[in-house]
Amino acid sequence: MKTKLKVLSVIGTRPEAVKMAPVIRELARRAGRVESLVVATAQHREMLDQTLEVFRIVPDIDLDIMRPRQSLERVTSAVLKGMEKVLRENKPDVLLVQGDTTTAFAAALAAFHAKVAIGHVEAGLRSFDFWNPYPEEMNRRLVDAMADWCFAPTARARDNLRKEGVPSNRVFVTGNTVVDAVRYALKKPFRARDCPIAGRGRLLLVTAHRRENWDQPLSNICDALRELVEEFADLQIVYPVHLNPRVRRTVMARLKKVPRVHLIEPVDYLALLRLMKRAHLILTDSGGIQEEAPTFGKPVLVMRKVTERPEAVEAGAAIVVGTDCNRIVSATRRLLTDASAYRRMIATANPYGDGQATRRIVEILLR
């Protein structure tokens, strides 16, 4: 008689690894009731490996699909083909995916084809714009439609799912596992490399790499950063530049020689958290950073047209500023010069969870 639940967790990018790491660790802790296998697609090779090292996770299966200048079509087909074999050979009871990446969508589709139950961690997020973020908005909608368990991080995400007709017995509000991940990571000993910028002055942390911001929008962001550092003599900007060639080409061309703009290589998760903690203000088009920054009480300016994470905006901890150069400069200037405006954006609590999401998810699966 089968006594253990066999769970296959699939990760492909750094954000997936961060948010799935607490779940994977909890599944391993329940070894008496769970057989846990981890599959890495390596949609993003180097940044995924950095994160897995932080959380001390070694994948059981590595599809190693990443190739130079890979297209969405190639990633989708490579994950789909690779997962077909993995599912056939391992026969899991449940496949877990996280978020809205192409890895999450293609792995869920493979599980659906194989009639394997699907759990979707961070279900129900919506921007209500198929092209922003692209292709993530469509990916998460498709995964939610296939999922047997939709683990919604917030009540708003739950409501989105119910409005789309997802049965209530498939939807569970758990909180966001990113809060669990931050708490785990911050317990690790500090290393000097965990904060690569230690200079004086106010630190502005920037991350910008999203597909819909490539080319002209990213150029606008870079122009805004140049204006800001020229206007504020005490400002230090640190920008870990994504490895994507189109991102690097634009950023290096516009900011490489600008004083006090530090263009650094992508950092591991601990270093990113230390930079958030050190920063005075954060400008980002990332989804995860919008959720992590409130833990540190750091105001966030979201450089996107829309966000599928409105909870921080409603809590006053984030503002959506888009990618217009003048608007970015104006919003940043205000927070650099108006102390009361800055104080109003310091979150008193993280609106995305209480650090117990992982426990809730695993207990729901075991029930």
Catalytically annotated residue among 44, 209, 226, 274: 209
Catalytically annotated residue among 136, 291, 292, 311: 136
Q: What is the 3-state secondary structure (H, E, C) of 98-165?
A: ECCCHHHHHHHHHHHHCCCEEEEECCCCCCCCCCCCCCHHHHHHHHHHHCCEEEECCHHHHHHHHHCC
Clarify whether 211 is annotated catalytic.
yes
Catalytically annotated residue among 211, 248, 260, 359: 211
Which amino acid belongs to residue 43? Q
Catalytically annotated residue among 44, 45, 226, 242: 242
Catalytically annotated residue among 16, 122, 212, 311: 122
Distance, CA of 123 to CA of 224 (rounded, Å)? 34
CA-based angle 137:141:143, to the nearest 5? 120
Clarify whether 88 is annotated catalytic.
no
Clarify whether 278 is annotated catalytic.
no
Clarify whether 16 is annotated catalytic.
no
Clarify whether 100 is annotated catalytic.
yes
DSSP bridge pairs for 11: 40
Distance, CA of 161 to CA of 152 (rounded, Å)? 9
40 in helix, strand or coil? strand
Question: What distance separates the 2 farthest-apart alpha carbons in the chain?
Answer: 70
Clarify whether 209 is annotated catalytic.
yes
Catalytically annotated residue among 14, 26, 45, 100: 100
Residue 175 backbone dihedrals phi, psi, to 5 degrees: 90, 170
For residues 183 and 269, is the Cβ–Cβ distance under 8 A?
no
DSSP bridge pairs for 36: 7
The residues that are catalytic are 100, 122, 136, 209, 211, 242
